[in-house]
Amino acid sequence: MARSKMSFTVASLRIKRVIRERWGLISWLAIPMIIVFLMSLLAGTGSGKLTGRLLVTDLDDSMVSQFITGGFAQGPLAEIFTTKQVSLDEGKRLMDAGEASAWITIDNGFGEAFLSNEPTDLKLVKNPAQRILPQLVETSMQLLVDAATYIQIVFEKEFNVLKPMLEQQKFNDADLVALTLGIKQQIENLEETIFPPQLKVVEKAVEEVVEDGDGIPLTFGLLMFPGAIFMALIFAGNSLAIAIWDDAKNGVIPRLSAAPSGLNDYFNGQVFGAVAIFTLIVSVLGVLGAWYFALPWAKMPVVILWLVFSGLVIYLLFVTLALMMPSMKVANIIVNATTFPLLMLGGSFFPMESMPDWLAAIGNFLPNGFLLTGLKDWLIRGEGMVVAMTVPLVLGLAMLLVLWLFDRQLIKKLIHKV
């Protein structure tokens, strides 16, 4: 009873020290969140869809103006932009409040000028607080203007026939037939230029992963999310492992070595403290990630347990490296030198899916690599838990047992190094 009480006392002291030196804990939490957030902005949003609001003021209300604005209400652009028809006053108010990505204004007479092949303007106001979405609107508008210019050139005669019909609102069958045949003839004349058969289409079945088994859209940010939590665990494990050397230099370990089982109780307390700290880190980052990426909440308890288990394996690996070194200075150098290869190759800085195959294969041999792969296969790709996690779990448990036994022996030799 006294031995277990001592282990919990050591764990409590370690937790209090981490909380007291709060900037370390804050950095462990903040760095992964910042990286995932920035990557999500660069490669798409956390929910997998880049979405924005587009305001349209159509003062012309003609067939031509409706064609221009209709381009944002269909196809891929419709999945990105929510288009809202607004008056001039409402458009100005919403843009001033920053509640839209862009605002398009089509002046009265735009359609008539277009059919008459006369100069006309489209007004675009962009939200300066956004970069990607306003630029996307501007690029789309430029493409529409270019397409309209070519249509004016190619169908000039047909527009001359269509214009008086629209102005007078009189449509007779003969003129409509002539207009249709003229358009058809122009398309046939340009068919070889517009649709040249330069590509041969070969049908091939390709397995494309778009969503996981729970319907979660795959994004670059989502692929980075589990690896970013591993990054926090690696940083925390690094610091906690070196903290044992700090205790040794302060005389804690030499004094405990005089008591029966003192060092074993101390080491067990360090492990308990690490588990508590990892649980705190994983819970905060896991809940934020589940909310941001719309992950199923039912899976979060397993995710948290798996990540704490993974953090413990990484921590004991760092402890082994630190305790094998002859001094605290050398331990710092070696542990830090090990940290960044683990982060780079283990899928924390870059998802393994974006790495070359040979580099990803190396990453999967690292402890954080195969533990991360097992988690992603189940959480993101929708594989069965047994299939995805059994092998990583067995390997992780084997490492955990071996490292724990080895570290219990190494810590007894630490008293001769300080």
Tell me how crowded residue 36 is: count the other CB atoms within 10 A of its CB: 27
- Residue 394: the pLDDT is 94
Q: Span 364-373, mean pLDDT?
A: 91
Least confident of 40-49, 111-120, 317-326: 40-49
Q: Considering only residues 200 and 151, tell me which one the structure prediction assigns the higher pLDDT.
A: 151
Instruction: Tell whether 40 and 67 lie within a shared domain.
Output: no
For the chain, the residue count is 418
Residue 254 domain flag: yes
| HEC per residue, the chain | CHHHHHHHHHHHHHHHHHHHCHHHHHHHHHHHHHHHHHHHHHHCCCCCCCCEEEEEEECCCCHHHHHHHHCCCCCHHHHHEEEEECCHHHHHHHHHCCCCCEEEEECCCHHHHHHCCCCCCEEEEECCCCCHHHHHHHHHHHHHHHHHHHHHHHCHHHHHHHHHHHHHCCCCHHHHHHHHHHHHHHHHHHHHHHCCCCCCCCCCCCCCCCECCCCCECCHHHHHHHHHHHHHHHHHHHHHHHHHHHHHHCCHHHHHCCCCCHHHHHHHHHHHHHHHHHHHHHHHHHHHHHHHCCCCHHHHHHHHHHHHHHHHHHHHHHHHHHHHCCCHHHHHHHHHHHHHHHHHHCCCCCCHHHCCHHHHHHHCCCHHHHHHHHHHHHHCCCCCHHHHHHHHHHHHHHHHHHHHHHHHHHHHHHHHCC
Quickly state the pLDDT bin for 322 (edges 50, 70, 90). very high
Instruction: Tell whether 309 and 381 lie within a shared domain.
Output: yes
Q: Span 281-299, mean pLDDT?
A: 89
CA distance 224 to 308: 18
Does residue 207 surpass a pLDDT of 60? no
Does residue 47 surpass a pLDDT of 50? no
- Residue 193: the pLDDT is 56
Instruction: Tell whether 285 and 334 lie within a shared domain.
Output: yes
- Residue 51: the pLDDT is 73
Residue 339 domain flag: yes
Instruction: Tell whether 257 and 329 lie within a shared domain.
Output: yes
Does residue 75 surpass a pLDDT of 90? no
Query: Strands 52-58, 102-106: parallel, antiparallel or unpaired by DSSP?
Result: parallel
Give the percent of the chain with pLDDT over 90. 23
Instruction: Tell whether 386 and 276 lie within a shared domain.
Output: yes
Instruction: Tell whether 409 and 261 lie within a shared domain.
Output: yes
Q: How far is CA 369 from the centre of its chain?
A: 18
- Residue 271: the pLDDT is 93
Q: Considering only residues 301 and 31, tell me which one the structure prediction assigns the higher pLDDT.
A: 301
Q: What's the start-to-end Cα distance of the chain, in Å?
A: 30
CA distance 103 to 192: 38
Q: Of the candidates 127, 154, 181, which is a domain's last residue?
A: 154
CA distance 226 to 375: 8
Residue 267 domain flag: yes
Residue 126 domain flag: yes
Query: Strands 81-85, 52-58: parallel, antiparallel or unpaired by DSSP?
Result: parallel
Quickly state the pLDDT bin for 53 (edges 50, 70, 90). confident
Q: Of the candidates 112, 135, 154, which is a domain's last residue?
A: 154
Instruction: Tell whether 110 and 222 lie within a shared domain.
Output: no
| Cβ(274)–Cβ(299) below 8 Å | no
What is the number of structural domains in the chain? 2
- Residue 206: the pLDDT is 47
Instruction: Tell whether 93 and 142 lie within a shared domain.
Output: yes
Does residue 363 surpass a pLDDT of 80? yes
Q: Of the candidates 106, 131, 154, which is a domain's last residue?
A: 154
Quickly state the pLDDT bin for 58 (edges 50, 70, 90). confident
- Residue 333: the pLDDT is 92
Quickly state the pLDDT bin for 140 (edges 50, 70, 90). confident
Instruction: Tell whether 33 and 61 lie within a shared domain.
Output: no
| Average pLDDT of the chain, as a whole number | 80
Residue 309 is encoded by which pair of tokens?
Answer: 């288990």
Does residue 418 surpass a pLDDT of 80? no
**Structural domain harbouring 94:** 52-154
Q: Which residues contact 396 (CB under 8 A, 6 or more apart)?
A: 309, 310, 313, 367, 370, 371
CA distance 373 to 355: 13
Residue 173 domain flag: no
CA distance 274 to 11: 8
| Cβ(235)–Cβ(28) below 8 Å | yes
CATH number for position 63:
3.40.1710.10
Residue 190 domain flag: no
Least confident of 9-13, 25-29, 220-224, 387-391: 220-224
CA distance 143 to 371: 47
Instruction: Tell whether 38 and 103 lie within a shared domain.
Output: no
144-186 residue pLDDT tens: 777 666 666 666 666 666 666 666 566 666 666 666 766 666 6
- Residue 213: the pLDDT is 47
Residue 199 domain flag: no
- Residue 209: the pLDDT is 44
Instruction: Tell whether 227 and 293 lie within a shared domain.
Output: yes
Q: What is the CA radius of gyration of the chain?
A: 32
Crossing angle of the two packed helices 220-249 and 22-43, in degrees rounded to 10: 160
Q: Considering only residues 181 and 405, tell me which one the structure prediction assigns the higher pLDDT.
A: 405
CA distance 308 to 217: 26
- Residue 212: the pLDDT is 47
- Residue 313: the pLDDT is 95
Instruction: Tell whether 243 and 371 lie within a shared domain.
Output: yes
Does residue 214 surpass a pLDDT of 90? no
